[in-house]
Structure 1
Amino acid sequence: MKNVIRLFVILVLISACKGIDKPDKPDNLLSKQEMVNVLIDLSLISSAKGVNKKTLENSLVSPKAFIYKKHHIDSLQFALSNQYYAYNSEVYSEILNQVSDSLNILKEIYQKLENEELMKKVEEDSIKGKKLGDSLKLAKHKNKKKKPAKIL
């Protein structure tokens, strides 16, 4: 009896997997590089939402709509292209690796710029005769978050 149940389960699984067809290639398929660029922008906007949500909410433009307009695409074109590439895991993995590499490069660039600005501030302070640590204290002070007011 156990063998019959196992055979039945295996047949059901095989028949369930058989119904998954490869998605048709969309007529307006985004190229791999276009897909990478859109995903980079979507990642940046997603990160910006976490950092400064109120500013994005107050803007009149939807972040996703802005990205679609920037790349001259619509949400359906992106969704169909994403579905097409996601079906082929090797190609999608390449796309996501390029996105990750690009975001890491951007992060390094902005960290380098931030360090250069901080060093420039330290140099300006030392020229003006201020103590060397003042700029570092100022930078740390700017990064501190204000404590919420106590509710009575």
Structure 2
Amino acid sequence: MRKAILILFVILLGSCSRIERTPKPDPFFDTQEMADIMTDVYLVEGSMTANRKSFAELGIIADDYIYQKHNIDSVSFSNNFNYYADRVDEFLLVLDIVDEKLAVIKDSVNTRQLNSKKPVTNITPANLTKIPDSLKSSIKSYPTESK
């Protein structure tokens, strides 16, 4: 019984050693180009998650948008994605670049949001400036104060 298990284990181990990796696709996207594409993929997917209804109303198809923006097709993207997925170290490098790009975008958006928020002044009687009596006579429709 032990011999059968050992033989089966050796056969199984030997069969796993001949796994072929995806060949280098044509056209090939270098790490920077793949990171640019993947950054857009994450941005579009995040936008769709946040507001899927707007994408549907505008007729935007996320995949088509990315393919047109980067002037690629679905087959070349899929082949390059599989190529990088077979090479974990290279894929992690691509994802590190994507993380850096997304962090820069996030900081930019946060900065813009902070800069666009102006303090709102509440109008209260203490904030109002009284109109001097000399100007009241020049304003025809100014109501007189009742005492």
**Smaller-chain TM-score range?**
0.7 to 0.9
Cα distance in 1, alignment partners of residues 7 and 110 from structure 2: 58
Please give the secondary structure, in 1, of the residue aligned with 2:24.
coil
Question: What code does the residue aligned with 1:28 have?
Answer: P
1:8 is matched with 7
* Residue 111 (structure 1) aligns with: 110
Q: CA deviation at 1:57?
A: 1.4
Residue-by-residue CA offset, 1:85-117 (whole Å, 9 max, x unaligned): 121111111000110111111111111111111
CA RMSD of aligned residues (A): 1.8
1:100 aligns to what? 99
Q: Partner of 2:66 in structure 1?
A: 67
After TM superposition, give the deviation of residue 73 of structure 1 in Å: 0.2
Instruction: Structure 1 unaligned segments of length 5 or more: list them.
Output: 132-152
Find the structure with the greater CA-based Rg.
2
Gaps of 5+ in 2: 125-147
The CA deviation at 1:9 is 4.0
Letter in 1 for 2:70: H
Identity of aligned residues (%): 25
TM (norm. structure 1) is 0.74
**Higher RCO (C-alpha under 8 Å, 6+ residues apart):** 2
Alignment of 1:14-29 (within 5 A): 14-29=13-28
For 1:57 and 1:98, the matched residues in 2 are separated by 30
Please identify which structure carries the higher helix content.
Answer: 1
Alignment of 1:131-150 (within 5 A): none
Q: Which range moves more in the overlay, 6-15 or 80-89?
A: 6-15
Q: TM-score, normalised by structure 2?
A: 0.76
Q: Which residue number corresponds to residue 49 of structure 1?
A: 48
**What residue identity is the alignment partner of 1:84?**
Y
Q: Which amino acid aligns with 1:66?
A: Y
For the 8 Å contact 2:37–2:70, the answer to whether it is kept is: yes
Residue 82 of structure 1 is matched in structure 2 by: 81
Number of equivalent positions: 124
Task: Give the CA deviation at 1:5.
Answer: 4.4
